[in-house]
Amino acid sequence: MNAVLVLNADLGPLHRVPVKHAIRMLLRQVAEIHEAEPDRLIGVFPMPRVLRLVRYVVTRWRYTTGPAWSKVGVLRRDDHRCGYCPAPATTVDHILPRSRGGRNTWKNTISACYACNQRKADLTPAEAGMELRFLPSVPTWASTAPR
């Protein structure tokens, strides 16, 4: 196990940290073990899977906007499914092409297989005679939390 999930005091997911960082958090007593691997020890501590912070950390910034846009994020949001056909997606397509002013935003990008991305080229889906199988959306922090 290379990462430990850190929960806020209200059990909301915050982020993942390396095991080394998790042990430092336990030593500083800013977190306690919420879930551990049975029969595995690191010094005096059981091997943590999940830590819970002792004090609540205000994360207001998480609710103002969604996560930052990224190609990996688009593929993850669309579950690596092509937005135009049933094939697995490996690329990201801009619905309004970048050559026409389309931007890297959650609502302007969708996962696509290589063939569909090449077929659509720098056209809109309507111009290319292609139909979106699902509409792109802005993911929430809850949907991007580690599983």
Q: Which amino acid is at 62?
A: R
The CATH 1.10.30 portion of the chain extends over: 66-139
Q: Are strands 13-18 and 3-7 parallel, antiparallel or unpaired?
A: antiparallel
pLDDT in tens, 31-56: 999 999 888 888 888 899 999 999 99
Q: What is the pLDDT at residue 52?
A: 96
Considering only 27-36, 39-48, 53-62, 114-123, which range has the smallest mean pLDDT? Answer: 53-62
Q: State whether CATH 1.10.30 applies to domain 66-139.
A: yes
Q: For the stretch 50-89, what's the b/e string if a residue is b when 16 or more beta carbons lie within 10 angstroms of its beta carbon? A: bbbbeeeeeeeeeeeebbebeeebbbebbeebbbbbeeeb
pLDDT band at 58 (very low <50, low <70, confident <90, very high): confident
